[in-house]
Structures are given as structure tokens and as C-alpha cells.
Chains A and B, each alone.
Chain A
Amino acid sequence: MNSVYTEKINKSARIPALIEHLFAKMPEIEADRAVLLTESYRETEGQPIVLRRAKAFAHILDKLPITIRPLELIVGSNTKAPRSCQVFPEYSYSWLEDEFDTVATRSADPFYISEETKQTLRKVYPYWKGKTTSELATAYMAPEALAAIEHNIFTPGNYFYNGIGHVTVDYAKVLRIGFRGIADETRAALAKLKVSDGDYARRHQFLEAVLISCDAVCRYAARYCALAKEEAASCADESRKAELLQIAANCERVPALGATSFYEACQSFWFVQMLLQTESSGHSISPGRFDQYMYPYFKADLEKGKITREFAQELIDCIWVKLNDLNKVRDAASAEGFAGYSLFQNLIVGGQDANGCDVTNDISYMCMNATLHVSLPQPSFSVRVWNGTPHEFMLRAAEVTRTGVGLPAYYNDEVIIPSLQSRGLSLEDARDYNIIGCVEPQKSGKTDGWHDAAFFNMCRPLELVFSNGVDKGVQLGPQTGDVTKMTSFEEFYNAYKAQMNYFIELLVNADNAIDQAHADRCPLPFQSSMVEDCIGRGKSLQEGGAIYNFTGPQGFGIANMADALYAIKKLVFEDKTVTMQEYKDALEHNYGKDMDAKQAENITAQVARRLVESGKKLSSEDVKAIYETVSKNDCTEAEKASYQQLLDRIAALPKFGNDIPEVDNFARDVAYTYTRPLLNYRNPRGGQFQAGLYPVSANVPLGAQTGATPDGRLANTPVADGVSPAAGRDLKGPTAAANSVSRLDHFIASNGTLFNMKFHPSALAGAGGLESFVALVCGYFDQKGSHMQFNVVSRETLRDAQKNPEKYKSLVVRVAGYSALFTTLSRSLQDDIINRTQQGDF
């Protein structure tokens, strides 16, 4: 490993020019894909769905406008305008139609949409009525599950309204044998079929669909080859002309055939990455271990003297820019939850190979350079850390962190590998894991992980304990008894567990309904062709073709629930300083805190919007009633004083995040109320449910729909993010917070945990600062924490960015499992980031 090249490499002048072009205009919604998809669907009525999908994909790739952006070296864009997006009506469409007139002006992730595009989409949308995955999923769901969604106990919105994404395909295979090679494999599988096989029909159709998709991709690359030649012919600049001819040569070969150079490998990778996001709208299409599958091509070229390190770096930088060219429009509420135009294309470097040897290489370091050179939110750049990680690698990663891009995120092999083994992965596959999206580990090219299957708000079932299962006048949860008559903490805790178990069952029902709907209506033959063992089994990914199948819905609010249950245990049952009745009253009255009109309006709007999205019709009377409920807080001064006294008592209790083993171990147990029951359930693809503990940024909007909680958190304020301590409650510094979080069981949350820490840049100043930072990460990991990420910006900087967004267009912050441009986030999420306890001053 001594030969690893770790030096920094200079940035080419091309990179800032590419970035400038990318951000010159507001992202736009384009209609071409929706039109082509609908054209194809109209022609294939009555055919097997998987064939219809393949034919539609082929029709789109044959006709979608193609473009080579100025100065590009790596080509392939699925939209005419940079950073723009196509739409995917096969999953859902009515929300966009409803938001046509607001999507350009909304606070989170606005998109421009022209009148012409609106007209075009209005023409194709009627075709999709009754044909979408979301409509079928709704039909499959139990009424109780729909009610739980409507009442915001959990939200499976991501896959309910969109494609699944959340996959890392076998990029290495495409680089090696190309789509012609995959087609050969498919033909071999077809040849093995007997027409008398019981499952001949399904297998045969699927394999035919794969062949159609492979051919379509080859034709698509050929279109780029022709376009590059055409542009070269009319190009006056000799050096650009040569570049265009090289691009043409690349596209002539890949991804149809295997790559013979690093440059071809880069181009081949990009076609796969971009086309996966053309076939389906799923996000978190994660490149995974880019440094591993790209390295052989780089090494071979370098040894033959065919490439310079500078040019290889430039190509990697170009890919980094392209990863920011892709985009996706979400409904307004989801846009808040996933704020920052983020596609969560997680790319990870470092770590071990299948044999357990460290495989940090030249490309690992070049990826760090690229992250510094490009300094944009994509890719979600991650590093794997284990006991054999080179110290220099850690220091370089820390240097990237110090620049304040919010990247990389750090992942612990020592937790993730055994955790994946406990879910049935072989040791070799577990060692070769990468991260999907935010924090979700899996083995590339073999897994359909459904990693982001829902947000489950752990605070809401506790509210239902206080109301005996009634929410907004409806008996939503089980009747767990009159809370004021409970005589022991065990009884209270059991009631919470009963509520949790009930809603976890409904969550499973909802996810499985959506899962089935995707299998029925949106199998993805192109994506499936790059995941083992779809071809062998003759099954799409959506039907269970992958070797490993999971469903990973994530819970959040651990810190709030730990503090809340601890407060009840202490104050009501041990110290007996507060009665349950007093607690209940205080919660109902939001501890006597008034809500100002604007706050109440905001909350009403959010609540109403959510209700409408989940299918409920609201009259203006209903909205008024919500507003009344939110804003009215009619309690006497004496009551207010007693509520304040309760708040003071709660404030004086020890809290999660301060390195107090008693409280932290209690939090560990509380997390089990979510992570353990889930393991009992299975999905339609034959896989297991597994919990994640991370919120993306949903802790803000979903917190806005959560009443006051017994930990002293006021109604409608954000709940704690990931496994991090509740905002502002960890007061003993970074090591104390890390120790507390490490006391949770990170192994059982095998779909990932997320620990956010914010640093002032000065905290990492100097060589000593970097060393201490590395010690902090490694010390947390030695105690079996799974993931850690950092925001390194000053509070003042963020405040100033709120006031003068134009000055901070490129300010990147860590939101949750990903980084985003700060100024593109909604005000409330900005505030939440500012209010996270700022560690540092050391």
C-alpha cells in the first residue's frame, strides 16, 4: 500500500466553467419523457407489464432530446436545460398538476415550469388516471394503515409517490462486459428456458425485456456518438474539436462494450448512472465504491503512460459536476423533507475488500480532491473507516470536512460488517458494503434494500398513550387505558409499546402494499439487468430478483422519546412530584405557551397540506377548525405558572447526550421499541424488515405535526434528528455527546443510524485540530457508533446567509444524511440547522 499516491492534484480551469453553466439558470421541469412514455404505453396496451416498461424505456431513449453541454468531457443528459428534471407520471402525477402554479415560487426546491410544458402535461395526465403505482398501492392498503398515514404517525410518501431508486448496481460488470455482454448473458439464460417450465411466461417476458433495454441503451449511446461527430464537424476550435471526436469514439464503444481505458470507464459509468434515473424516478441511485471499480482502468492507463494524473482528476471532477446535473421534482411537502434538490447519490471510498484487506487507493484520494474542487452537494461523499484505515486517509478526510462542505460522512466498518452479517449477508459481501442514500449499508449489485421505506415518528404513539388511542376525535390506536389511572412506569411503558407495535404493523402493511404495487406496475428491466440474480431467476428487482431483499423504514425522535419516558418515570412514578393528570393537562395546553398568529398559520397550513395529500378533502371550515385548535391556548395565569414549574422540573432532569450511562442506556431500550418489532416482518420480495434510525430532514416538517411531548419539547417544533441528542440539550461537549450516542445499539439498526455534529471551523484549525477531530471520529467508532457527519460553519455565517442569500449561493451545509445548498433550504430547516448545538471552542 506504500505506493498509493496521496498528493493533491490541481483543478482544471474547465471545472469552474462547467459549474457556472450548471447554475446559470433555475432548474426546469421538462415534459419530453412523460409524452414519450405515454405514447409507448398507448401502443402496448394489454401486453405483459415488464415488456411494456422495456418498450417505453426504449422509446424514450430513442426519442428523448440529447445535448452535449459546453466544454463537457463526459456526456449524457436526460434534460435539455442543466439541473432540470423529467417527470414520471407512472408513479403519481396529480400533486404536480395541483402545484403547477406554485412549484416555481415555493420555498423548498423551486422549479421553473413553462406554460407550454403545463399544457403538454395536462394532455398526457388523463391517460394515467387509475394506472399509477400510488393508486394501486392505496387500493392494496388496509384502511387502518391509510388512517395512520392520514394522522401522520408515519409517512411512506417516498415510494408511495415515486420510484424506489435506492440501489447500487453492478457498475463493475458494465465496465467489464458492456450491455452487449449483459445481453449475451440474457440470451444464454433464455436458451436455458424450456417452454414447458412452470414459470416460463414470467421469465421469458422479463428476459426479453432486458434484451430490449440493453439494445436501447446501445442505440442511445450511438446517438451521442453521432451528435459529437456532428458538433465536431462544425467546431472551429481545434482543441474542442479533438475533444468532441474523442467523445464520439468513447460513445461508439461504451456502454455497449467493455471499457478499454479510464476515460471510457468514466463515460460508461455516467451512462449507467444517468439512465437509471431516466428509467425510474427513484433517488439515492448510489455509485457506491467508485474508487474500487474504477481503479483497474486508471492503473492500467497510468502504467502504459496513456493518461496523466491531472487528466484523470479532471475526468473525475467532470463526473462530480455531472452528478449535480441530475434533478428531481418532489411534491411540496416531500421537498421540505428532502430539501436541497438532493438526489443522495452516495459515493464511498476506502475500507476493506471482500478478503478483509484495506483497499484505499489513488482514486480514493482523487475523489477527495474532486469533492474539494467541485464543492457541490453531489455526490453524497462518504468514507469507510476501520482499524486498518491509513491515518493519512483520515487526515485528508478531516481536511475535506474542515472546508465546511459537510462532506464526507464517516462510516464504521467495525459495526456495519457484523450488522450486515446478522441480516444474512456472507462475510465477503458484508465486507464489500457501500452506502445507499443517507446512511444505509448494503452489498452492491446484489441488493434491493428499499432503504428509505418510510418515516416513523416515534413521538406520535406516545401522544396516543395520553389520549387512550384517540387522535383528532378518531379512535386511531388501540385503547391502552386511561393514562391517569396508571400505577407504575411499567404499565405506562407497556402502553407505549402496545401503541408502537400496533402502528409498526400498519407501517409494514403500507410498505408491503406499495411494494406489491411497484412489482405489478413498474418493474424495471434495465435496472434489474445489473443486479444479481435477476437474470438467473428471470425476475425483476421489484419482484424479488435480487439476492438480498430488505425493507428499511426509519424511526426518528429517539432522543425526545428517551428524555420523555425518563421524565415520566422520574417525575410521576419515582419522585411523584407531578401527577399524570397534571402532565396530561400540560401537554394538551402546550405547557401554557402561546403560539403567535404566524406560527399558528404555518402549522395550520402544513397540517392541512399533509391531510390533503393523504387524500382527505378539507373544507374551509375544517381548516378554520385546525387553526382554532392550534392557536387557542386558553389557560389561566395560575395554570401557566404550574406548567412552567413542570417545564423547569423537566429541564433539571438529566438528558440524553450528556454521557450519563443511566439515561443513555434507557435511550438504548427505548430505541428497541422500534427496532426489535420490525425484525418480525417480511416483505413481498421475500426479504426482512430492518430498522434505520435517521430522519433525512423530515424531523422538521413532521415535528410540525407533533404535539408537545413530555420531554419539554413544545408542540410543532422539530423533533431530534437521527440518533443525535435533542437540539440544545447536549451540553458537555462533543466527546460526551458521542459517548451517549454510542450507547445506543447501532448493530440492530442495520438500515443505518445518523449522528450529526456541528463544528465551528476553528474547531478543526491547525494540524492538532485535525488530529483531535480524527480521534473524535475514531473514538466514537471504537465504541461501536456506526455513522458520523459534521457541519463546519459558524452560526454567524449561517445567520448572514439567511439575510443575504445572494452572497452565499454556494454555501453547503450538512442537512441530515446529505449536504445541500443552505440558501435552497426552507427557512424553518435553516433555523433548525442554526439551532443545533454548536460544538467547538476548544
Chain B
Amino acid sequence: MDTSILSVTGRIFDIQRFSTHDGPGVRTIVFLKGCPLRCRWCCNPESQSYEIQQMKQKSSVKTVGKDISVGEVLEEILRDRPYYRRSGGGLTLSGGESLLQPDFAVALLTACHENGINTAMETTGFADPAVIERFIPHLDLFLMDIKHTNSRKHEEFTTKPNEKILANAQLIAEKAKKLIIRVPVIPGFNDTEQEIGDIAAFAASLPNVKEIHLLPYHRMGKDKYDGLNRPYLMGDVPPPSAEHMQRLLQVCEQHGLTTHLGG
């Protein structure tokens, strides 16, 4: 094993063990700090800025973000190896956006593969294709968001247009081991049958893509906005109803996609 990769450092803000919704089996999720998008509904607002921040919690202040080496993160990941082995689980990179820290992320994925650990990554897909190419050999699964097919609306709600994302989806679909498309279902943004249908049509058009996950909007991140002294732009918008999610599920299935609600 190339031990030099163990000393590569990156910036993360959390490691969550025994997670079961982001990739197969029992997984450890490493949350990287910094994101190119600013989605209004983001439930991890503390993930967006690359800077280390202070966030108020009930009665204390929490420092969000720390610099850490691949070796240290790997040690934490390896602790749950018995459970990965039994369930086909492993590491999932989340964020933030791991594509912003390619040296660190790729080193971590490489180290995991060298230890026989399955790898997955949740991503916006917003990066130069060359960066994405670096990740592809080291990932068993891409979980990539397609939030909207209309670039103008995409930009309005996430601050970035979607052309680059859609192109990268094509690239990943062609070259990666496996790609699952994920859609955060956000009321007032993309929750109509038409909009979800457009996303599903796009996903179905990608080579090798067979699966789509619809993730209903939730308000669990609201308190964090207060903690960071930021306004919560979603206001009191209620989560989509279970019935509505069922309808959207059918829309996706009509495009021949295996569809899951939640991860």
C-alpha cells in the first residue's frame, strides 16, 4: 500500500457510523466541508462554507469543521469492517461536495479500496470533468443529484446552472461502475409530476442507469440555520405528502426506473 496517501489531509465536519440509507449495507459517512451550490433546502447548511465555523446548539457552541488526515479517517472507517463485511457496506463520502477536495477524497477512496472497503459518494456532480475522471476508478457507486432539468430554475434555487451537471452525469453514466440518480423532492421547486417526469426521462436516457431515489424534503436542518445566524429560506413549507410521493414514484417507474423513496 502506498502509505504516502495516508498523510494527505482534508477538511471534514462529521463522521457518522451505522448509517443505512446512503449506499448498500451498513455504512460510515464522512461529511466533507465546502460546497459549490447553495441549495435553499439544504439540511446541512454548516457543510456549505469551506471555512471552519461556530454553530450555536441548544446551550453550547459547536466548532464545525476540522482538518484531518486520510490515515485518521481510515482508522475510524475500519472500525466497522465486521458490519460492512456482513452487509456489503462501506464508506460513503458526503458533504458538502467531495469534488472540491479531490486530493483528499481520492486518497481516502483509494485507501479504502486497498483495504477491501466498498466506496460510494453523494455528489452534486458540479466540477470539471477532469476532476470527476480522477474519482471514477475508486468508486463502486455514485449517488448523484439531478435536481432539475431546467437550468434557469436550477440556478434560481441552487445558485448554479445545470449544464455542467447534466454533462457530467453523462460522463459518469458511461464510465463509472454504477450510478444511481437522486432527486431531492422540494415543494415549489421540482415537485410536480411534470418536473419529476422530466428528471426521470433524463435519468432513463443515461446509459447503464436503472435506479432513481426520490428524497422527500424535510425540515430537520432548520435549527442549524438559526445556529449559524442565517435565514431559513424555505419558511414553513410542509414536506410533500406520502400520497404525493407515491404518485411521483409511479411517474419514475413509468420511465422503467427502479424507484425508491428515501435512500
A-side residues, CB < 8 A to B, are 659, 732-736, 739, 766, 768-769, 771-772, 774-776, 778-780, 782-783, 842
- B19 engages A779 (CB within 8 Å): no
Residues of B within 8 A of A775 (CB): 25-26, 83, 86-87, 89
User: What is the count of residue pairs linking A and B with beta-carbon distances less than 8 angstroms?
Assistant: 58
B246: interface (CB < 8 Å): no
Chain B contacts of A739 at CB under 8 A? Answer: 79-80, 82
B21 CB–A CB distance under 8 Å: yes
In the complex, B85 has a CB within 8 A of chain A: yes
Residues in chain A near residue B83, CB distance under 8 A: 735, 775-776, 779
CB B61 to nearest CB in A, in angstroms, measures: 17
Complex CA distance for A736 and B81, rounded to whole angstroms: 11
Task: List chain A residues, Cβ under 8 A from B21.
Answer: 768, 842
Q: Is the CB of B17 within 8 A of A735?
A: yes
Select from chain A the residue with minimum beta-carbon distance to B27. A772
CA distance A842 to B82 in the complex (A): 18
Contact B18 A776 (CB under 8 A): yes
Q: Is B20 part of the contact surface with A, judged by Cβ < 8 Å?
A: yes
Bound-state CA distance A778–B79 (Å) is 15
Whole-angstrom CA separation of A782 from B86 in the bound complex: 9
For B19, B83, B85, the residue with the greatest tally of chain A CB atoms inside 10 Å of its CB is: B83
Taking the closest CB of chain B, its distance from the CB of A136, in whole angstroms, is: 50
Chain B residues in 8 Å Cβ range of A769:
20
Contact B86 A735 (CB under 8 A): no
Question: Which B residues are CB-close (under 8 A) to A772?
Answer: 18, 20, 25-26, 87
Q: Indicate with 1 or 0, residue by residue over B145-169, a CB within 8 angstroms of chain A CB atoms.
A: 0000000000000000000000000
Contact A736 B85 (CB under 8 A): no
Query: In the complex, are the beta carbons of A768 and B20 less than 8 A apart?
Result: yes
Measured CB to CB, the closest approach of chain B to A817, in angstroms, equals 24
A733 touches B79 (CB 8 A): no
Q: Which residues between 106 and 131 of chain B lie within 8 Å of chain A, taking CB atoms?
A: none
Q: A768-B20, A769-B20, A779-B80 are in contact. Are A735 and B85 (CB under 8 A)?
A: no
Asked if A779 contacts B82 (CB within 8 A), the reply is: yes
Set of chain A residues within 8 Å of B80, measured between Cβ atoms: 735, 739, 779
Closest 6 CB pairs of A and B: A775-B87, A779-B82, A779-B83, A775-B86, A772-B20, A778-B86
Chain A nearest CB, measured from B95 CB (Å): 19
User: Could you tell me if A735 and B87 are in contact, using CB atoms closer than 8 angstroms?
Assistant: no
Chain B minimum-CB-distance residue to A780: B82
Residues of B72-90 whose CB lies within 8 A of A: 79-80, 82-83, 85-87, 89
Name the interface residues of B11-26: CB closer than 8 Å to any CB of A. Answer: 16-21, 25-26
A-chain residues with CB within 8 Å of residue B87 when the two chains form the complex: 771-772, 774-775, 779
In the bound complex, residues from chain B placing their C-beta under 8 Å from that of A783 are 82
Q: Is the CB of A776 within 8 A of B26?
A: yes
Contact A733 B18, CB 8 Å, known A771-B25, A772-B26, A775-B25: yes
Q: Contact: A732 with B85, CB < 8 Å?
A: no
Instruction: Collect the chain A residues with CB atoms within 8 Å of residue B86's CB.
Output: 774-775, 778-779, 782
In the bound complex, CA of A231 to CA of B37 (Å): 80
- By the criterion CB–CB under 8 Å, are A733 and B17 in contact? yes
Closest chain A CB from B28 CB (angstroms): 9
Question: What is the minimal beta-carbon distance from A741 to any residue of chain B, in angstroms?
Answer: 13
How distant is A740 from chain B, measured CB to nearest CB, in Å? 10
The residue on A at minimum CB distance from B83 is A779
Complex Cα gap A778–B25 (Å): 13
13 pairs, A vs B, C-beta closer than 8 Å: A733-B17, A733-B18, A735-B79, A735-B83, A736-B17, A771-B25, A772-B25, A772-B87, A774-B86, A774-B87, A775-B26, A775-B86, A842-B16
Docked complex Cα distance between A842 and B21 (Å): 8
A82 and B212 alpha carbons, distance in the complex (Å): 56
The smallest beta-carbon distance between B259 and chain A, in angstroms, is: 14
The residue of chain A having its C-beta at the shortest distance from the C-beta of B82 within the complex is A779
Residue of B whose beta carbon sits closest to that of A839: B18
Q: Which of B81-105 contact A (CB under 8 A)?
A: 82-83, 85-87, 89
Q: CA–CA, A775 to B87, complex, Å?
A: 6
Q: How far is the CA of A659 from the CA of B17 in the complex (A)?
A: 12
Point out the residues of chain B lying under 8 angstroms from A782, CB to CB: 82, 85-86
In the bound complex, residues from chain A placing their C-beta under 8 Å from that of B17 are 732-733, 735-736
A782 to B19, CA, bound (A): 20
By a CB distance below 8 angstroms, the chain A residues around B262 are: 766
> Contact: B79 with A659, CB < 8 Å?
yes
Closest CB of chain A to B244's CB: distance in Å?
A: 19
| A92-B262 Cα distance, complex, nearest whole Å | 60
Q: Which residues of B contact A768 (CB under 8 A)?
A: 20-21
Q: Which residues of A contact B18 (CB under 8 A)?
A: 733-735, 772, 776, 842
From B80, B86, B87, B262, residue with most partner A Cβ within 10 Å: B86
Measured between beta carbons, the chain B residues less than 8 angstroms from A842 are 16, 18-21
Q: Which residues of B contact A735 (CB under 8 A)?
A: 17-18, 26, 79-80, 83
Chain A residues with CB under 8 Å of B79's CB are 659, 735-736, 739
Chain A's nearest CB lies how many Å from the CB of B189? 26
- Name the CB-closest residue of A to B80: A735
Residue of A nearest to B263 (CB): A768
User: Which B residues lie within 8 Å of A780 (CB)?
Assistant: 82
Complex formed: what's the CA distance from A736 to B78 in Å? 11
How far, in whole Å, are A377 and B159 apart by their CA atoms in the complex?
57
In the docked arrangement, what's the CA distance between A623 and B233, Å?
64
